């Protein structure tokens, strides 16, 4: 059955300030910094996988007009990475890259974060997959990647809502809107609806009545920008009869990480920018993995790119789903399985040029070195 024909659909997006997204963003920023350092010091990207990060939420006391953070947020970045020439430089690089990412992504004071490096040297057996002299990248894991195209109307609308929530226009209209948000979209037949969790910044909220009125205005503002009618609910745990801070999603920083939630790499958005339980998807943590040999990163990005290419270049194809399976120790450009599922308007594949599909797959796999370079520079979305 084509995805568009399914009666029920669910998809989710975690915003840039969500604890899981913060871990993803920091992990990949560290990987990019390592790639740049290795290229500078050795002329090549060396083995690393810093795809393990844990955010331990702090403690805070939000108050109308402005509260305080009582305990800072801990962010631990762990993984394996080849050493750098200078003693201590690996830990310094991890902290600097994490700090730089947070400062660029968030609007709250970054000194609220305590960043710790737990990156260690990798095993010799895994380091050798990117040793000097290897001309073809070797997979350092047996794993699979998955991708699909195109986005469904619900998926597009979830991403559109996310774009509005982080837009300057929305923040100007609602200065109490924080950077931490999550959107859950649902569809039953043609009826769609969205549940939004959005952290409110306490210093911009005067009272419980002000909070509730602003929330109602947000619903109207967002609803007027939907392409099709759909119910929008914001912060459904709120007490509609609240008279003080109790029972409202109020924060000091605009982040639930200050008190209400913790985070980990890989628990958030997939390469699509969404969490899509009705689609084929890998549970791999893409962010933080090295872009040269770790198929958990390369194949998820590649499968998504290939699915989009199939839909955009072959008119008969309306939907495409791609899965790529690696074998550790084998060339990254030669997966042990390429599984492609295609859908056309009439349900037949007779008109699809299979040789063209095969050539497109081969060309995409041959282009992995160029993709790796883009991933190393942070030019591809990974969460």
Is 136 contained in some domain? no
Pairing label, strands 113-120, 73-81: parallel
**What pLDDT was estimated at residue 345?**
86
Q: What is the model's pTM? A: 0.95
**What pLDDT was estimated at residue 2?**
78
Cβ-contact 265, 5 below 8 angstroms = no
**What pLDDT was estimated at residue 126?**
66
Are 160 and 229 contained in the same domain? yes
**198-211 confidence digits (pLDDT tens):** 999 999 999 999 99
**25-49 confidence digits (pLDDT tens):** 999 999 999 999 999 999 999 999 9
CATH number for the domain spanning 40: value is: 3.30.300.10
**What pLDDT was estimated at residue 77?**
98
**What pLDDT was estimated at residue 125?**
67
Domain containing 157: what range? Answer: 3-16+152-264
Is 383 contained in some domain? no
**What pLDDT was estimated at residue 123?**
73
Are 49 and 85 contained in the same domain? yes
Is 72 contained in some domain? yes
**What pLDDT was estimated at residue 79?**
96
Is 320 contained in some domain? yes
Q: DSSP letters of 180-231?
A: EEEEEEEEETTEEEEEEEEEEEGGG---HHHHHHHHHHHHHHHHTT-SS--E
**What pLDDT was estimated at residue 21?**
98
Q: Which residues of the chain have pLDDT under 70?
A: 1, 125-135
């Amino acid at each position: 059955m084509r995805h568009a024909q399914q009666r029920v659909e669910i998809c989710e997006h975690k915003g840039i300030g969500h604890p899981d997204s913060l871990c993803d963003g920091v992990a990949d920023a560290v990987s990019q910094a390592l790639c740049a350092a290795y290229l500078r010091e050795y002329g090549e990207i060396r083995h690393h996988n810093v795809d393990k990060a844990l955010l331990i939420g702090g403690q805070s006391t939000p108050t109308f007009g402005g509260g305080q953070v009582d305990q800072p947020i801990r962010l631990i970045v762990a993984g394996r990475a080849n050493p750098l020439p200078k003693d201590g430089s690996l830990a310094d690089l991890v902290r600097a890259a994490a700090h730089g990412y947070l400062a660029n992504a968030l609007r709250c004071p970054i000194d609220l974060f305590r960043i710790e490096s737990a990156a260690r040297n990798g095993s010799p057996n895994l380091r050798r997959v990117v040793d000097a002299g290897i001309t073809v990248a070797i997979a350092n894991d047996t794993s699979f990647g998955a991708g699909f195209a195109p986005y469904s109307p619900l998926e597009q609308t979830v991403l559109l809502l996310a774009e509005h929530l982080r837009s300057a226009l929305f923040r100007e209209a609602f200065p109490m809107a924080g950077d931490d948000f999550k959107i859950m979209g649902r569809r039953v037949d043609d009826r769609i609806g969205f549940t939004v969790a959005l952290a409110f910044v306490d210093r911009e909220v005067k009272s419980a009545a002000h909070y509730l009125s602003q929330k109602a205005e947000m619903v109207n503002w967002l609803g007027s920008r939907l392409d099709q009618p759909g119910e929008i609910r914001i912060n459904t745990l709120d007490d509609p009869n609240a008279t003080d801070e109790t029972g409202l999603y109020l924060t000091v920083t605009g982040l639930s990480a200050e008190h209400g939630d913790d985070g980990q790499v890989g628990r958030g958005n997939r390469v699509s920018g969404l969490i899509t339980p009705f689609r084929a998807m890998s549970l791999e943590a893409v962010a933080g993995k090295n872009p040269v040999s770790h198929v958990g990163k390369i194949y998820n990005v590649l499968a998504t790119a290939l699915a989009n290419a199939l839909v955009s270049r072959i008119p008969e194809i309306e939907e495409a789903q791609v899965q790529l399976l690696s074998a550790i120790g084998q060339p990254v450009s030669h997966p042990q399985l390429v599984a492609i599922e295609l859908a056309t308007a009439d349900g037949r594949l007779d008109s699809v040029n299979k040789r063209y599909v095969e050539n497109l797959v081969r060309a995409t796999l041959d282009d992995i070195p160029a993709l790796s370079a883009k991933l190393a520079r942070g030019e591809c979305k990974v969460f």
